[in-house]
Amino acid sequence: MSDELSSPDMSLALDAPQNSAVVSEWLLGTSAVLAYHLGDTDTARLIADVSSAEVRIWNTEYEHEGYRVVLVVEPHLFPRYDEPALDQVADVMRQVVWGSGKAIDELVARPSIPRLGSDWRRQVKTADGPKPSNQGRRMQLEPNRPVEDQLRFTNEWERDVYRVLKGRQQRLPDNETIGIMPLGGMRVRGWTFEPDLLITYRGYAGVIEIDGPQHKGHAGYDHSRSRLFLHSGVKVVDRLNVEEVKTLAEVEKFVDDFLTQLKR
């Protein structure tokens, strides 16, 4: 199956029903990759951190087809999208739609609205203090996220791999075991990441990234992210595609192969 992003029908308005399902990811992905190839990696990273784009027709006067684009970003990232940053993103997006008879008239950003449960008061009052911690900060107030050993996970896949790693941890002797850090905030040059799982073993650090269906079309971004980890002193970065793993034995083999690479 092709991993290529679907493109909108440019003969129609970008917010036409036929385009609404694909236009956000297409505009973000195409703009990020274009910025990267133009050498503007900072703007490429800004775009890659956007959760979604709301694209609406804005101005149709004098046969002009202009759009207002709203970038939806996670609340902890929102301060990064100031006016200079948005100007950079808008310049790239205008290049993407240039020649199609369409224009980006306005680009703004807004924070995404957290998904809270009916017990939101308890969630807020029992959060880890007034400042976000560096562990799973995006998941702290979202309901129904997996938690084990007082550690947060994005989804069940991450927790399942964690359980396999924990089993390996228990088998190893006390003086030669592993450390497991899920969703730990990590600052690399120009970016703050939360590796799915950061593993320490025999004086080395490695990262396991767990790719679900939401990673389709993000191969370029994932490659850049892995390269930044390696440049920052991480010895091994490996990715587990959950759509290709069917059994627990396959997950266990992946973990064993990862630990073998890390201790070499």
Q: Determine the average pLDDT of the residues in 242-254.
A: 90
Tokens in use for 71? Answer: 């970038």
Q: Which helix (H) or strand (E) holds 180?
A: strand 178-182
* 238 DSSP β-pair partners: 208
Query: CA 154 to CA 119: how far, in whole Å?
Result: 20
In 38-155, where does DSSP find H-type helix? 41-48, 83-97, 120-125
Tell how strand 151-152 and strand 178-182 pair up.
unpaired
Give 38-77 pLDDT, tens digit per residue. Answer: 999 889 989 988 989 999 998 888 888 899 999 999 888 8
Helix 248-263 and helix 156-171, axial crossing angle in degrees, nearest 10: 60
Could you tell me how far CA 167 lies from the centroid of its own chain? 28
Tokens in use for 215? Answer: 């990673």
Query: Residue 2: pLDDT above 50?
Result: no
Q: Quick check: 190 and 184 in contact, CB under 8 A?
A: no
Query: CA 21 to CA 55: how far, in whole Å?
Result: 11
Query: What is the number of other CB atoms lying within 10 angstroms of the CB of residue 248?
Result: 11
Q: Is the dihedral of CA 31, 97, 76, 146 positive or negative?
A: negative
Say which range, 95-109, 146-160, 178-192, 211-225, has the weakest mean pLDDT.
Answer: 211-225
Compute φ and ψ for 199, nearest 5 degrees.
-115, 135
Tell how strand 197-201 and strand 204-211 pair up.
antiparallel
Nearest to 214 by CA among 187, 181, 241, 252: 241
In 107-198, where does DSSP find H-type helix? 120-125, 156-171
Q: Determine the average pLDDT of the residues in 107-133.
A: 71
Query: Residue 223: pLDDT above 80?
Result: no
Whole-model pTM?
Answer: 0.53
**Which class is domain 23-111?**
alpha beta
Q: Which helix (H) or strand (E) holds 220?
A: helix 219-231
The structure tokens 């002193």 sit at: 233
For 246, counting Cβ atoms within 10 Å of its Cβ (0-12 exposed, 13-18 middle, 19+ buried), the class is exposed
Q: Which residue has the higher pLDDT, 200 or 129?
A: 200
Compute CA distances 195 → 124, 172, 218, 225, whole Å. Answer: 25, 24, 16, 10
Query: What is the number of other CB atoms lying within 10 angstroms of the CB of residue 173?
Result: 6
Give 72-100 pLDDT, tens digit per residue. Answer: 998 888 888 999 999 999 999 999 999 88
The structure tokens 């924990």 sit at: 166
Nearest to 45 by CA among 21, 22, 73, 8: 73
Query: CA 182 to CA 256: how far, in whole Å?
Result: 18
Question: Where are the chain's structural domains?
Answer: 23-111, 145-263
> What integer pLDDT is reported at residue 47 of this predicted model?
93
Architecture of domain 145-263: 3-Layer(aba) Sandwich (3.40)
